[in-house]
Structure 1
Amino acid sequence: MTEGNFVDYVKIHVSSGNGGKGSTHLHREKYVAKGGPDGGDGGRGGHVIVKGNKNLWTLLHFKFKRHFKAGHGEHGSKNRSTGADGDDVFMEVPLGTVIRDTDTNEVLFEITEDQEEKIIIKGGLGGRGNWHFKSPTNQTPRYAQPGLEGEEKNITLELKVLADVGLVGFPNAGKSTLLSVITSAKPKIADYEFTTLKPNLGIVKHRDYQTFVMADIPGIIEGAAEGKGLGHYFLRHIERNSSLLFLIPADSNDIAKEYDILLNELKKYNPELLDKERLIAISKSDMLDDELKAEMKEELDKDLKIPYIFISSVAQQGIQELKDKLWNMLN
């Protein structure tokens, strides 16, 4: 999927259908002089419904269609015939989509399961026909209820990527390169910061035909939790990953300090992110000789409280070991 096709945030206007009017018909038939009221009820207006679809990965299909309007209910008619209900409108979204009220910013619900359906706004109820209102004292009511009007709402759809492993690191740490090596994804790779502006997903093939999904989250910078850089856009995608892989390059000035900064940004954004399993991968480690590696290990064993592994995406060093560790974390 190219970067321009990954849409993870859209604003939409939805309106449900009006209910149909009840009928005021009086029964007329040969040999039945005064048949009485037999006006049917109006049909209900159509609902606007969101439905989960596991085969969708992006909100791209909402990019050019921003208005959704359900059908109106039909009016009631004679012989107590109820009008047809208005057509419901179904909006299919990828799993992990959060639906907010744009005006109040309140989260209405989120879709996390395939074929899960939630009604965003209900259609108006149909009016009752005049036969409901007959009584011993009013045997020919010549009135019925009008249908209720539908509702309108502005909503925001926000996609939080559902992946097993989220790649976390500073810009230019080598996340896209790693993703391109261990999956068949083809992210944009260049040696400048913020090459990746949208999350990239790839499927990692493990031993015995097992697979898991990895997401390359765009680079985090210090202050991302306050919205610096593109902080909020990136951080929300990390919420849905079950494990986090921190990628820190071997030529970093202070690996432990970089890890602490990244962890601090996650904590500021959402402290629950620290409950996820974590692993550090020290990338670009083909630049290190054995002596330098041994020295770094001594320091890291003191400074880091979580497991770490030396890898090189370009030289394909430690890649299988990394897959094994991630698989064990997930299972």
Structure 2
Amino acid sequence: MSLYHHLDISNAEELLQHGNLVIPKKVHKDQDWTLEQLQEHLQWAVDIELYTIPFYMAAMYSIKDQGAEARRLLRSVVNQEMLHMQCAANIANAYDTQLVIRAPSYGGTVPHLNFALDTPNPTEIFTPYSTAIGPLDVERINTMCIIEYPNWDACSRENNGTTDEYGSIGEFYQAVSQGAKVLAEFIQGNVRQVGHFSALYPEVESMTITKDGKAGLPQVESLINLIVDQGEGLGERKQYVASKYQNRIDDLQPSWDHFEKFSYLREQALPETYALGFGNDRSREVQQILLKHFGDFLVAMNTVFRGGEVPDFAAIMYKVGGAIAACWENGALPVFSKTSTTTGARS
């Protein structure tokens, strides 16, 4: 059963209301995995990937120069986060997870992860940082580095077996991979699978899961590897993206994983970004327009990953991007949920 089973997935107003949800606890032993626990982990995998998309998009559109290197690098990351969300959803659907995609919550801690479990703790390295939606600045870049922080020491941490939390996205996906392997008999091929982005990655055998049971496990593992490899990479001494997971069509640095791209931006001069105003009727108007389009995006995502058709999905994404840009151009902070502050005020 979905953690959001009570929500109407066709109602944008409901999907724009984010809430506090129970985070699935870490499973320490193979014999302790249940299908319900794996489904909870897979719902959260989709949530993690969605969380990054508005955060990165808002920072990207805050850059005035559309041809700036930083903007182009961020765009490549946003596109891959959309792919990661699709991959996570395909895995979830292969295990018959009833997904619901709703507005993320920003401004608190990065959801699902306890970075204090990492050695070293990335929040002590990449500081100051902020999880609030904002322009591309030192705080936002540091947060991006924290989110994509490589899981270099996860396997050797002594407290790894005593905590119910995960310290990084890499460690989280290690658990998902193990749970998927233990429960491979439950894999169902061709269940609500979405195959966009295939043209950008011709070396990837399949972006969808088409086989049942253990025969489908290599496809599941390939999608997990794609997510991890493009995101935080494989380790301290192997910070590059495997050839088959590289987008050589429109990625400025196809061999760089997300952590490497953000680390690079951290060392560069910040590009000029739009300034926030003090709030007026126009800023509130463009924020409401963004909420409308982002609500449409959430409905579209729920429809697609429930097996429905959205013929104008590209147009929906274009409108979200345009509305984010309009917010910045009018001195308004982009907002992505009904419980966000909808004023164009400076912080």
Which structure shows the bigger proportion of residues in strand conformation? Answer: 1
Which structure shows the bigger proportion of residues in helix conformation? Answer: 2
TM-score above 0.5, yes or no: no
Higher RCO, Cα 8 Å, sep 6+:
2
Give the TM-score normalised by the residue count of structure 2.
0.20
Give the TM-score normalised by the residue count of structure 1.
0.21
